[in-house]
Structure 1
Amino acid sequence: MAILNSCTSKAPPTLRVGINAWPGYEFIYLAQELGLYKKSGLDVRLIEFSSLSDARRAYERGQIDALGTTVIEVLQSRENSEKSLQIVSISDYSDGADIIIANRHITDIKSLKGKEVGLELASLGVYVLARALEKNGLTLNDLHLQSLDQQSLTEALKAGELDAIVTYPPSNIQLLTDPNFHTLFDSKAISGEVLDVIAIDQQFIQQHPAIVRQFIAAFESAYQYSLTHPDQAYAIMAEREGITANEFEIALTQGIKMIRFSDQADYFKAHGKLDEVIQRTDKVLRESQQIKGIDHTKDIKSSLNSPGKQ
């Protein structure tokens, strides 16, 4: 009978996870490199993308089940697809890492009026730019917007085809060493508003809650490993992003605030920090016409991470 059970037992379903270059998401990759998924009996397949919007579209096409992303992309995905992403964990929030870089002739945000500004449309960049403009009495309609991926944005700014771009690490690291460019605005001015999250398809969560919990636990274990073995961890994660370990450490520690596992409940409780960000984000996206349909904020938080569900 034991032999029969072993022959008929099903292999765990593959969790296909989209990941793009952002220091806060790299612990998804680090967990793989440390063998934490295999140790937990998980079958996790990481799929790399060049931008947040590319990963979101892959989810909408059914090519991935989960992704490192932001509240912005989760709301937009719910607008554009019948599939339902749910937030299962908060990885970090941007505290200066998301920035608007301009050529040296653009002195402030108000000077962007009528200028060519590049960003990833239908993505995080829209929110950051909209909030920067709002704080300075402008709107997206006051600019000429161009949608490009992060690498193309950098190249276009260097070529003088754009006056400013919305960007983030690692793409902005080399730009900021060039005296021809400078920072006009960074997410420290809206600290806590840009939440980076792990989001997973609602149906997958319902069918495989144990796998989701183990995946989140592996992410946390990878983060804990980085605290005790920073040199090894930063080297692994920096190599995937194509930067040095020192550059990775600076990007992670000087512009990003990681959210510990013990702090998750404060975000997921009713009327907690996550609810505040969701409502503010929805408002900004609707004002900028990025979302026009029904209310997509209902059941956006997975109950797996609600207080009392740990």
Structure 2
Amino acid sequence: MKRTVLYRAGGALGLLLVLAITFFFYPKSSDGDAPILRVAVYEWGGYAPAVYAQETGLYMANGLRVELFKATSPAQMNEWFRDGKVDGICGVVLTDLLIMRSHGEALQGVLLTDYSTDGDVILSRADQISISDLSGKRVSVDRMNSFSHVFIQRMLALNGLKESDVTLVELPFDQVPDGLIRGEIDAGHTWSPAKEMGLKVNLKVLAKAEESPGIVMEVVAFRESLLKAHPELIRTFTRVFFEAQKQVLEDPLAAATHMKAFYGNEPAVFAESFRSMHFFDLAANKEKFDGESENSVFVTAKMINDLLVSSGLVQTTDLYKTALRPEFVESQ
């Protein structure tokens, strides 16, 4: 009898423990029906629909509870995911997604937001003529072992240089203009809005992301356990994202004005930055997620995976095969 009671008590305690873990891992909305989606966002045009949906009530109108965390850099968003502060990132550069998965992070992309055309650039002083002039010079990356690192490697390779031909230094993207002016670096990878700041003080663009289309491709990604436990929630988020994206692109300035309170930026400047990226709407996403297409995102992901392996940043050759979940786009 005592043993039976103990077994029952132990079973009850085990059940309570499981329920407690579930409750704390997925915070509930006020009505208790579904988890709140905790999503990191950053000031980039491709990610703007996620913020616009919040500021205009689209999430609430579709029964979603979304808590957005505003980051100051892509690296901070990635760190928040690793630390468990968020379960989604809007967005993560495809290169970083592959690197994170190589480190065991259970993160998968569900939709494509955009790819940078001339949003990501190598900026230099006016006395630098071309990328080939950077041999023996100091070139900055936003963070080593990141998409910024791969971007620099790719731009150097396209101009006949290797990483060993330059001295790489780590400098946050928003400090690149000042670093160039102070003479700390000779060139550096940066992006909007720091790029525009640099151009205002007569700094020069040596290379643009459009020279290697897709090298800076952005995705919205979520924790695998969330995708498994609440797929319908992610399908709804995907639908709302594209609805918001359509409205944002119909009138970028009006949309940017709606988001001013969240971002604290200048709407006209933010709206203008949209020109430096290529957006993927729902139709384009469906085309890109077609694994049989030559333009498939899986082709781009494999190219990036190969670059990561050849540069020694990762060891696994097939990360690209499981990094993306096309069913959330395909179900729309």
TM-score (norm 1): 0.89
User: Which residue does the alignment assign to 2:36?
Assistant: 14
**Match of 1:88, as an amino acid?**
V
How far off its partner does 1:118 sit?
1.3
Contact 2:110 2:329 in 1 (8 A): no
Q: Specify the SS of the correspondent of 1:176.
A: helix
Q: Specify the SS of the correspondent of 2:288.
A: helix
Q: Specify the SS of the correspondent of 1:21.
A: coil
How far off its partner does 1:37 sit?
1.2
Percent identical residues: 25
How far off its partner does 1:294 sit?
5.9
User: Which residue does the alignment assign to 2:164?
Assistant: 141
Q: 2:35 and 2:328 mapped to 1: Cα distance?
A: 21
How far off its partner does 1:241 sit?
4.8
Say if 1:241 and 1:259 are closer, same or farther in 2 by CA, change over 3 A: same
Q: 1:29 and 1:15 mapped to 2: Cα distance?
A: 13
Q: Which residues in structure 2 correspond to 1:250-261 (within 5 Å)?
A: 250-253=272-275, 255-261=276-282
Q: Deviations over 1:72-113 (max 9, x none)?
A: 111011012x33211100111112211000011221101111
Say if 1:93 and 1:157 are closer, same or farther in 2 by CA, change over 3 A: same
User: Which residue does the alignment assign to 2:300?
Assistant: 277
User: Which residue does the alignment assign to 1:55?
Assistant: 77
User: Which residue does the alignment assign to 1:4?
Assistant: none
Q: 2:180 and 2:37 mapped to 1: Cα distance?
A: 37
User: Which residue does the alignment assign to 2:6?
Assistant: none
User: Which residue does the alignment assign to 2:191?
Assistant: 168
- Residue 299 in 1 paired to residue 322 in 2? yes
Contact 1:109 1:136 in 2 (8 A): yes
How far off its partner does 1:306 sit?
5.8
Q: 2:169 and 2:258 mapped to 1: Cα distance?
A: 34
Say if 1:247 and 1:198 are closer, same or farther in 2 by CA, change over 3 A: same
User: Which residue does the alignment assign to 1:3?
Assistant: none
Q: Specify the SS of the correspondent of 1:60.
A: helix
Q: Specify the SS of the correspondent of 1:185.
A: strand
**Match of 1:117, as an amino acid?**
V
Q: Specify the SS of the correspondent of 2:184.
A: coil
Contact 1:99 1:166 in 2 (8 A): yes
How far off its partner does 1:286 sit?
1.7
User: Which residue does the alignment assign to 2:150?
Assistant: 127
Q: 2:200 and 2:118 mapped to 1: Cα distance?
A: 16
Q: Deviations over 1:7-43 (max 9, x none)?
A: x973321211111221111211111111111112212
Aligned length: 299
**Match of 1:263, as an amino acid?**
A
User: Which residue does the alignment assign to 1:69?
Assistant: 92
Say if 1:260 and 1:149 are closer, same or farther in 2 by CA, change over 3 A: same
Q: Deviations over 1:132-181 (max 9, x none)?
A: 111111111222112232223333223221111101111211111112x1
**Match of 2:148, as an amino acid?**
G
Q: 2:82 and 2:153 mapped to 1: Cα distance?
A: 25
Q: 2:239 and 2:285 mapped to 1: Cα distance?
A: 12
User: Which residue does the alignment assign to 2:45?
Assistant: 23
Q: 2:258 and 2:136 mapped to 1: Cα distance?
A: 42
Q: 2:179 and 2:291 mapped to 1: Cα distance?
A: 44
Q: Which residues in structure 2 correspond to 1:145-294 (within 5 Å)?
A: 145-179=168-202, 181-237=203-259, 240-241=262-263, 243-253=265-275, 255-272=276-293, 273-293=296-316
Say if 1:101 and 1:188 are closer, same or farther in 2 by CA, change over 3 A: same
**Match of 2:126, as an amino acid?**
R
User: Which residue does the alignment assign to 1:5?
Assistant: none
Contact 2:282 2:329 in 1 (8 A): no
TM-score (norm 2): 0.84
Q: Specify the SS of the correspondent of 1:63.
A: coil
Q: 1:104 and 1:242 mapped to 2: Cα distance?
A: 31
**Match of 1:248, as an amino acid?**
F
Q: Specify the SS of the correspondent of 1:106.
A: coil
- The structure with the largest alpha-carbon Rg is 2
Comparing 101-110 with 266-275, greater Cα deviation is found at 266-275
Q: Specify the SS of the correspondent of 1:291.
A: coil
Q: CA RMSD in A?
A: 2.0
Contact 1:52 1:123 in 2 (8 A): no
Structure 1: tracts of 5 or more residues without a match? 1-7
Say if 1:110 and 1:229 are closer, same or farther in 2 by CA, change over 3 A: closer
**Match of 2:95, as an amino acid?**
I
